[in-house]
Structure 1
Amino acid sequence: MSHPLYHQANVKGPGVHALIIGVGGYPHLPGGDGERVDDPYRYGLTQLTSPPRSALRMAEMLKSHPYGSWALPLRSIDLLMSYAPNTSLTEEIEDLRSNGKVRNPTIQIIKTAFKEWMDRCVDDPDNIALFYFCGHGLQDIDHVLLASDFGRSSLTPFDGAFSFELTQKACQQRLPKTQIFIIDSCRRDAPDLANTLHSGINGLAVPTRGQAPQCTDLLTLQIPIFREAESLPERVSYMTSAVVSALEGQAATTDERGRWVVTLDTISAKIEHILKENMLRIQEEEPGLEFPPDVVNREVMGHGAVLCRLEKAPYAQLVVSCEPQSATAEADLACSRTPPPKEKALRRPADGNGEWPLKLAGGDYKLSATFHGGPWKKGEAQIFLEPPLRRLHIEVGR
């Protein structure tokens, strides 16, 4: 191989192979440092500050899981990134630029990296293939993703673009059996795109008509159609932050042996809730921000392949109240593990306040609401707590 990868492990057998692309710098778009061409389609595309940070955050998380280990060894990460001019870069990004472990994601380099990634992925049918893209995108018939040299030619600007749908379909017709696609890119409405081009935009690989898929376990995460990908300036994007949180344990459940695991199915089931909770926290920091009701498109199929196993129970949010709600302020609330561990039960005395928010390790809990006088009778509940969040209403009677 003619270039160093961001990560490569010399291990035999099946493993995880990732291709991670973050396109923030577009030299030929407004604000770029290359030769400018007019934007004939008036899509309003400019420079982006989030994609390189988002791609690096994804790569860092894959390289060193802080709370567990991958179900298979991490065998390779190829990281492609571009940066907008005058972007404040972290020291690590500067180092990666200087030592050659990241390449500029022009369309030709993306095609080369994709071919090399596919070659690594197909060498064992039990590998896990992960494809991640963060950068500009347009939506017409297909979701069109833009490489860093998009617009290099005013005559054929879309030479620097590729179709995600065709790329994914071609991948599914090949091994490995488990494939993951995370597309953190705008799907800005471009209704005239197909008519303007006259011919379709190619994928990074060509699917074969009529060929059955070899992929049996699939997870695809995308921004909803005609929506914008969101982030604060020079921060990791909201969607990538949610994916990282999911992999770190916020999408965990227990398997048949009681071990905490993250699977394709649990990510699909929980990612939207994780993303919405993250957005609520951001709104507390940045009042006035508004978010759409639908935040992520999910496609999952297969047998719920395990991606990672956690060393201990992940933390989860639990919000406790009474049913009816009017009894909550008068209740002495208590929460304890079952079976009882050495630590004391958590308690919240009646104080006239409402819901009781808790941050607890996942597992079995017993909760109670007791009263000193008044019309309410004691209520109890037992639950198994999983991340990311559960709201519990303890039923109390009169």
Structure 2
Amino acid sequence: MHAFVVGVAHYPYVGKGLGTGPARRLLDDLGQVTVPEPSAREIAEWLLTAPRQPDDPPIGTVEVLISAPHPVKVRASGGAPVEVESAVHENFRAAFRRWLRRCEASRDNVAIFYFCGHGWRHGDQLLLLEDLGEDPELVLANSVDLGVLRARMHLTGPRLQAYFVDACREVPMDLTLSGSRPRALVDVPEPDGPLHPVDAPVFFSTAMGHSAFGDGGAATPYTEGVIAALEGLGACRKGGQWAVTTSSLAAHLQNIIDWNQVGEGNQEVRIEGQWAGRGVLHSLAGAPMVPFRIGCSPPGTPLPERVTARAMISPSPVSSVQVFEANQGHLSAGFYEIDVAYPPDSRFTGDTILWQIDPPNEVLSLTVRSRLPDRS
């Protein structure tokens, strides 16, 4: 597995009144952002430290570029933090070529690309690098056309590729008026025959024409969701074990983000690109731990005082019993008998239920009844 991780949290040429006409309006519409630094660092460190199972391709290399107002260091497994280069166009172009060369060494490699920073939509997705607007007359020169990058990877890259883009996808009218284009990263030759099939989804953090989400100096909800999904909440059963595939990640990522942002917003993940859904991005050593919450019916009935979960393994229950005195927690994926308890003086009681706990999360829906009066 070869990864390329980019975060841009420093744009020295935006909001300075540089240039004229469309270029000036484009640059002045952008502001400084803080979330790409922690987001890219967390992704890079997860890739460098996450345990890999015997069936997984080992981590080969992780190219990291992060721009911030200060030097940025990334910690690898068992090593001292390493300072990384900034995400200016020259560095991006060199790192992309190194990544491409490593990826295309074998069709059996796995290619991972992650970007967090400003973005626009202009034909395809544009990724805006630190030195955007260095020359206002060529305002888009220091941006990256994701479509061109992906086209080059499709020609000679691995069968399995995954792209994660945490950036705005708004479509400013001034992009068309500016007449500027991104500088070339690499030549994209005409194919000399049919393209080989690839499993290469693009996981966008937001819908086309919309802004991305992020607040403060912490990693974005999208990035936290991607990491949680890769760690196991995006997994499915595959060949007798749990694994995160491109299709299971696609099915679960939105639910993971929604679960962590209850009542907070309407971030909508969009998945594009060419993908078959069978590629394995990460295998697990065992069943994932799945978050759950308790829900009661009818609405308005009180939550129980205690929840007991008994693991069931055919043909008989095992002795594994977990007791929760809160109305949320984590259970290993599997089949459970769920029992609830109310205080002795409560007029409510609940039925025992059987429930299959599966990733990415579960709401255990309890039917609550009024306790029959004591007739003794």
TM tier, shorter chain? Answer: 0.7 to 0.9
- Cα 1:248–1:366, aligned 2, differ >3 Å: closer, same or farther? same
Cα-to-partner distance string for 1:179-202 (whole Å, 9 max, x where unaligned):
111111111231231232176875
Q: 1:208 aligns with which of 177, 190, 193?
A: 190
1:264 Cα deviation after fit: 1.0
1:231 paired residue number:
214
Task: State how far apart, in whole Å, the 1-side matches of 2:163 and 2:56 are.
Answer: 18
Conservation of the 8 A alpha-carbon contact between 2:297 and 2:366: yes
1:96 paired residue number:
82
Counterpart of 1:312, as a letter, is G
- Cα 1:67–1:370, aligned 2, differ >3 Å: closer, same or farther? farther
Do residues 120 (structure 1) and 120 (structure 2) align? no
Do residues 363 (structure 1) and 363 (structure 2) align? no
Conservation of the 8 A alpha-carbon contact between 1:169 and 1:207: no
Task: State how far apart, in whole Å, the 2-side matches of 1:248 and 1:320 are.
Answer: 24
Do residues 23 (structure 1) and 5 (structure 2) align? no
- Cα 1:396–1:211, aligned 2, differ >3 Å: closer, same or farther? farther
Conservation of the 8 A alpha-carbon contact between 1:187 and 1:226: yes
Task: State how far apart, in whole Å, the 1-side matches of 2:224 and 2:348 are.
Answer: 43
**Structural mapping, 1:344-363, within 5 Å:** 344=321, 346=323, 356-363=327-334
Q: Secondary structure at the match of 1:225?
A: coil
Do residues 179 (structure 1) and 152 (structure 2) align? no
Percent of aligned pairs sharing the same letter: 23
- Cα 1:192–1:204, aligned 2, differ >3 Å: closer, same or farther? farther
Conservation of the 8 A alpha-carbon contact between 1:174 and 1:215: no
Conservation of the 8 A alpha-carbon contact between 2:310 and 2:321: yes
Do residues 386 (structure 1) and 342 (structure 2) align? no
- Cα 1:210–1:76, aligned 2, differ >3 Å: closer, same or farther? same
The 10-residue stretch of structure 1 (335-344 or 62-71) with the greater mean CA deviation from structure 2: 62-71
Scaled by the length of structure 1, the TM-score of the pair is: 0.77
- Unaligned 5+ runs, structure 2: 371-376
1:333 Cα deviation after fit: 5.7
Do residues 147 (structure 1) and 147 (structure 2) align? no
Q: Secondary structure at the match of 1:342?
A: strand
Cα-to-partner distance string for 1:318-375 (whole Å, 9 max, x where unaligned):
2344554577768986421003333435377xxxxxx943321211212346999x99
Counterpart of 2:190, as a letter, is T
**Structural mapping, 1:1-398, within 5 Å:** 16-30=1-15, 37=19, 40-42=24-26, 44-65=29-50, 71-84=56-69, 96-97=82-83, 102-197=84-179, 205-206=187-188, 208=190, 212-222=194-204, 223-257=206-240, 259-280=241-262, 290-291=264-265, 293-299=266-272, 301-321=275-295, 323-325=297-299, 334-339=308-313, 340-344=317-321, 346=323, 356-368=327-339, 379-394=351-366
Task: State how far apart, in whole Å, the 2-side matches of 1:164 and 1:305 are.
Answer: 21
Counterpart of 2:50, as a letter, is H
Conservation of the 8 A alpha-carbon contact between 1:165 and 1:203: no
Conservation of the 8 A alpha-carbon contact between 1:316 and 1:389: yes
Scaled by the length of structure 2, the TM-score of the pair is: 0.81
Conservation of the 8 A alpha-carbon contact between 1:178 and 1:217: yes
Task: State how far apart, in whole Å, the 1-side matches of 2:151 and 2:319 are.
Answer: 53
Across the two proteins, how many residue pairs are aligned to each other? Answer: 358
1:115 Cα deviation after fit: 1.6
- Unaligned 5+ runs, structure 1: 1-15, 284-289, 349-354
2:373 paired residue number:
none
1:272 Cα deviation after fit: 0.8
What RMSD over aligned residues (CA atoms) do the two structures have, in Å?
Answer: 3.5
Conservation of the 8 A alpha-carbon contact between 2:45 and 2:74: no
Conservation of the 8 A alpha-carbon contact between 2:291 and 2:330: yes
Cα-to-partner distance string for 1:284-321 (whole Å, 9 max, x where unaligned):
xxxxxx52x24211136214211112223222122344
Q: Secondary structure at the match of 1:53?
A: helix
Conservation of the 8 A alpha-carbon contact between 1:51 and 1:236: yes
Conservation of the 8 A alpha-carbon contact between 2:170 and 2:210: yes
Task: State how far apart, in whole Å, the 2-side matches of 1:180 and 1:226 are.
Answer: 22
2:374 paired residue number:
none
Task: State how far apart, in whole Å, the 1-side matches of 2:305 and 2:14 are.
Answer: 60
1:27 Cα deviation after fit: 2.3
